[in-house]
Chains A and B, each alone.
Chain A
Amino acid sequence: MSDFWSMGGYARYVWPCFGFAGIVLLWNIWSARRHLDAAKIRAARALAMAASEAP
């Protein structure tokens, strides 16, 4: 098992490489969800304003 983690002496390059890729994938999910939630809030606010301004 330690052979696996040592990656033939390249562990300090291989694991940060996969770690950074994982961070980018997670950031994409988090940021896309946040973007959609913010758009929904803005749309709801615009609809509420339009409804309050209606005669």
Chain B
Amino acid sequence: MWTWFYKLASPPYVFGAAAALAPWLFGAAALAIAYGLIAGLGIAPPDYQQGEAFRMIYVHVPSAILSVTVYTVMAVASAVALIWRIKVGHAVAAASAPIGASFTLMTLVTGSLWGRPMWGTYWAWDPRLTSELILLFLYVGVMSLRSAFEDPARGDRAAALLAVVGVVNVPIVHFSVVWWNSLHQGATIVTLEGPKMPGSMLWPLLSMWLGFMLFYGAVLCIRVQGEVLNRERQSAWVREAIKS
């Protein structure tokens, strides 16, 4: 088991696997997003309360799920890097931060555009919105901290610590609509009674969610190659890798 673990964490293996996986993940993401867009915008019926405005769900919800998922990946990779001193963990965390930040910004902007016609305001200091904004600040903090040190190894460790501590915000984002009074609607897809949407609305949403996840995987594969190269510049295998 440990042989497999260390092989997976070896920089040349990660570099090669990421380069091979990226095009497949991009292709699969494009298919899932294309189906989600066509079915979500053109086939799903309008919502009985929100009318056509509900279609913003097809980008808002997948980006919101991704914003917390990417943070969790970043925190786990940071913890692995801190505990087992595995450099690839720092590379995955550093590669995830800008992607996660961009999806958190997407969540805030699309949510704001959805909030205006439904709540009458672009912004409210609501628990869900505020915790999502804190998530964006955490991403920015992790990226800033990493680049604030002259010694990249110290920057990696400091950013990893902040990422691990900041993971406490992830359950707060998720449960904010349960723990406090919130303008934001509660869970729609994952509930004890099952999804609260009919299939014609749900399948495009699941497809968009899958597409965004695959897209994250694809972009992560490209970014992680850059992060591995930055950390392994002096290694012999890099000579062969950059020729290809």
Q: Is the CB of A40 within 8 A of B242?
A: yes
Chain A residues closer than 8 Å to B55, beta-carbon distance: 7, 14
Choose among A14, A24, A28, A42 the residue that contacts B52 (Cβ–Cβ < 8 A). A14
Within the complex, the shortest CB–CB distance from B22 to chain A, in Å, comes to 9
Restricting to A3-36, which residues have a CB under 8 Å from any CB of B? 4, 7-10, 13-14, 16-18, 20-21, 24-25, 27-29, 31-33, 35-36
Query: Judging by beta carbons under 8 Å apart, are A17 and B215 in contact?
Result: no
**Complex interface bits, B111-145 against A, C-beta within 8 A gives 1, otherwise 0:** 00110110000000000000000000000000000
Checking B52, B114, B219, B223 against A7 with a beta-carbon cut-off of 8 angstroms, the contacting residue is: B52
Question: 5 other contacts beyond A17-B113, A18-B59, A28-B102, with CB at 8 A cut-off?
Answer: A10-B52, A14-B55, A18-B41, A32-B223, A47-B242
| Interchain CB contact under 8 A, B226 and A44 | no
| Residues in chain B near residue A33, CB distance under 8 A | 222
The secondary structure that dominates the A interface is helix
Instruction: Find the A residue at minimum CB distance from B109.
Output: A20
Contact B229 A40, beta carbon cutoff 8 Å: yes
Tell me how far the C-beta of B200 lies from the nearest C-beta in chain A, rounded to whole angstroms. 17
A binding-site residues for B, Cβ under 8 Å: 4, 7-10, 13-14, 16-18, 20-21, 24-25, 27-29, 31-33, 35-36, 38-40, 42-44, 46-47, 50
In the assembled complex, B12 has its CB within 8 A of some CB on chain A = no
Do A39 and B225 contact each other (CB < 8 Å), given the known contacts A13-B53, A24-B103, A29-B219? yes
B164-196 CB contacts (< 8 Å) to partner A: none
Q: Which of A4, A17, A31, A47 contacts B56 (CB 8 A)?
A: A17
- Residues of B contacting A46 with CB < 8 Å? 233-234
B65 within 8 A of A: no
CB pair B229–A14 under 8 Å, yes or no, is no
Q: In the complex, A29→B63 CA distance in Å?
A: 16
Candidates A13, A16, A39; contact of B229 at CB < 8 Å: A39
> How close is A45's CB to chain B, nearest CB, in angstroms?
9
**Given A39-B226, A43-B242, residue A14 in contact with residue B53 (CB < 8 A):** yes
Which B residues are in CB contact (< 8 Å) with A43? 229-230, 233, 238, 242
